[in-house]
Structure 1
């Protein structure tokens, strides 16, 4: 992939003081790095988006990301945030269908397709998450599960090349377990085939998410069809995140993982 992405998903961590301190330490270190070949997103909690956006102050290499949005344009939905609200404060990308939301908020594929549509309508980039459970993989259903997630969550979407996919095996999120390189390579290749046969596109970036850290990032990013990473726990520490940024910049165009 020509374009590379890295998303720091902070989930429900960091107070405003902690978030601000993190960015004040991160940004100067990024100044010394050639950032022209990748796009970096930081996805804090909703309440921190305006403050983090102000710190970015029109940055060309780092964008504001959101962890979710509502599937309706507006309405009486207490506690929810619309795509229009996010776009209005400068959000550039939105995570859609993270496994934690699929599990805890019971979000289904049809609902996610509506969210993808709303995000695209407002000029932001949706990062559609997909991935199988450990039970699905052990039962040999991992490919069928991922294919269904992608096809149904992108149902009716025409602007496919404005979408990105994040493959996150559920069993490797926040557990310390990491999919072996062969599994990552095989699934990313499979997702690429789905996107080609279903939508006729070879230009949709596919990111890997699942306990990616400074120790394994370089090997993961060297796998074919891995266009970057969706980083959870390791994005909460400046030193770790910088190391992962560096690993992405050193990504090779090889034909196999190493």
Structure 2
């Protein structure tokens, strides 16, 4: 197959654009914000667990508080009734003694419960402070996540635009190259191979294999418009005045 040397050299520009597209696509799939968001997700999960635990602790203490408060209220009403009966003087001696004994017991129990409630209130204060801290930490992380998502979306849009811009340039360049030549190049790339490479320093620029003297001589002897393929990888071997081929003296254009 033959194609003008200038056309073959355009394949190097095409390969460079394809490499740029691959880099841009890789960058789109590996945005730094995505990595940060993944780390942040772990921190957010831990923060939500802290908030859930602190809320349970607050609710549990409140339940205990309500129980003690209800008991104190009932006890105060009971004590008031006993005291009213004693003050009224309408009960017998035995009943009076029992009422007085019961009242004393209620007073002691009240004092115990009030001391317990004071201790409980201190626990509630500490637990409430911890719950506030956990919720504040969660809020900070949530706001950070929102900011990162916005940054990620902006970076993603920029990366996608870059891919689109390079793809457009690639399409424009490909349209200036002979169709059969581009078909060979694209066919190789479609199979996951490098489409073209510069022959330089006795190597194929596509697979980096060193070319033996016989092959180098064959390449040097070939017409400039002859499309040569690497025997190792099948890529189109593009020759320029920088290839350093045997007998290549004055640069050929």
- Which TM bucket (shorter chain)? under 0.3
Report the TM-score when normalising by structure 1: 0.22
Higher helix share: 2
Report the TM-score when normalising by structure 2: 0.23
* Structure showing greater relative contact order (alpha-carbon pairs closer than 8 Å, 6 or more residues apart): 2
